């Protein structure tokens, strides 16, 4: 069955030329959008129209368009990655919208994620947190047989769940405090649950939290919003583990 066509939509979008310049909302009309198209395709169509009209196209982040790279962001109609669960923006489809809707699109809002242009924000703060400790620096020798180190099923699963974080920043964007705790917790957890990573778990938690604070992210107040807006459904129980690792690290200093 052919997809329904949305005859008219109003796209209210944040336009900002540079990090220093003051931004503003602009509303564009767009016609004949198939409900079968993805949200980013709709933006491509809108940009095509803007270019043909001699206007500056809307700058937005995107890369793989299959939900694994974490590049696409966008706060759509009041929610990170738009009105659906467990998806990135590239996995959002126009069937979630109705005829005549006004769709509000904003960039991630956090002091630590400054706007570069329009809807693109600078997420290098996440890289900086990773550089502070999100790695294994113990000598692990040559390549061992994958099965030589026994790891319990539950631990392996939990580590893998944490490792599914794509660093998109939806947790920060959706958190009322712009807290990066879910991201940091996932990065700490994915290593803390495994033998090679466990060795440096305390140091890692301490350094990554210190970097997170230094970069100006807010504190976690356990609202749980991040978990529900996370495209990978990373559990806030990882945050409890991060707190545990951090506190034991601090108390053993």
Residues engaged in binding other proteins (CB under 8 A): 14, 25, 75, 77-79, 104, 106, 109-112, 174, 176-179, 209-210, 212-213, 216-225, 228-229, 235-237, 239-248, 250-253
Residue 128 tokens read as 């900086």
Q: How far is the CB of 29 from other proteins (least distance, A)?
A: 19
Residue number with CB closer to other proteins (32 or 214): 214
Q: How far is the CB of 52 from other proteins (least distance, A)?
A: 28
Q: How far is the CB of 105 from other proteins (least distance, A)?
A: 10
Residue number with CB closer to other proteins (2 or 61): 61
Residue 96 tokens read as 């979630």
Strand partners, 10: 29, 102
Q: How far is the CB of 89 from other proteins (least distance, A)?
A: 16
Do 194 and 155 meet the contact criterion of CB atoms below 8 Å apart?
A: yes
Residue number with CB closer to other proteins (34 or 77): 77
Q: How far is the CB of 96 from other proteins (least distance, A)?
A: 13
Residue number with CB closer to other proteins (53 or 253): 253
CA distance 98 to 33: 11
153-158: long-range contacts, CB 8 A cutoff, minimum separation 24: 155/193, 155/194, 156/193, 156/194, 158/189, 158/193
Q: How far is the CB of 39 from other proteins (least distance, A)?
A: 16
CA distance 171 to 251: 28
CA distance 59 to 173: 18
Residue number with CB closer to other proteins (166 or 225): 225
Residue number with CB closer to other proteins (16 or 37): 16
Host H or E run for residue 57: none
Write the burial class of residue 150 (CB in 10 Å: 0-12 exposed, 13-18 middle, 19+ buried). Answer: exposed
Write the burial class of residue 57 (CB in 10 Å: 0-12 exposed, 13-18 middle, 19+ buried). Answer: middle
């Amino acid at each position: 069955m052919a997809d329904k066509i949305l005859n008219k939509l109003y796209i209210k979008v944040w336009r900002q030329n540079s990090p220093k310049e003051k931004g503003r909302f602009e509303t564009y009309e767009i016609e004949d959008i198939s409900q079968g198209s993805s949200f980013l395709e709709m933006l491509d169509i809108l940009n095509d129209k803007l270019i043909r009209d001699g206007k500056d196209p809307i700058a937005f982040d995107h890369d793989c368009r299959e939900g694994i790279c974490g590049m696409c962001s966008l706060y759509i109609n009041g929610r990170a990655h738009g009105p659906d669960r467990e998806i990135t923006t590239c996995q959002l489809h126009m069937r979630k919208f109705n005829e005549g809707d006004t769709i509000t699109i904003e960039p991630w809002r956090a002091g630590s994620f400054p706007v570069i242009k329009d809807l693109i924000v600078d997420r290098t703060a996440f890289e900086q947190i990773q550089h502070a400790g999100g790695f294994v620096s113990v000598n692990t020798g040559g390549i061992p047989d994958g099965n030589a180190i026994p790891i319990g099923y539950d631990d392996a699963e939990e580590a893998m769940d944490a490792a599914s974080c794509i660093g998109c920043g939806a947790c920060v964007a959706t958190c009322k405090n712009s807290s990066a705790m879910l991201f940091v917790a996932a990065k700490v957890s994915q290593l803390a649950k495994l033998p090679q990573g466990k060795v440096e778990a305390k140091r890692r938690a301490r350094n990554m939290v210190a970097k997170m604070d230094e970069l100006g992210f807010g504190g976690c107040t356990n609202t749980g919003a991040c978990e529900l807006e996370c495209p990978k459904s990373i559990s806030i129980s990882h945050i409890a583990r991060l707190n545990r690792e951090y506190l034991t690290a601090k108390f053993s200093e």
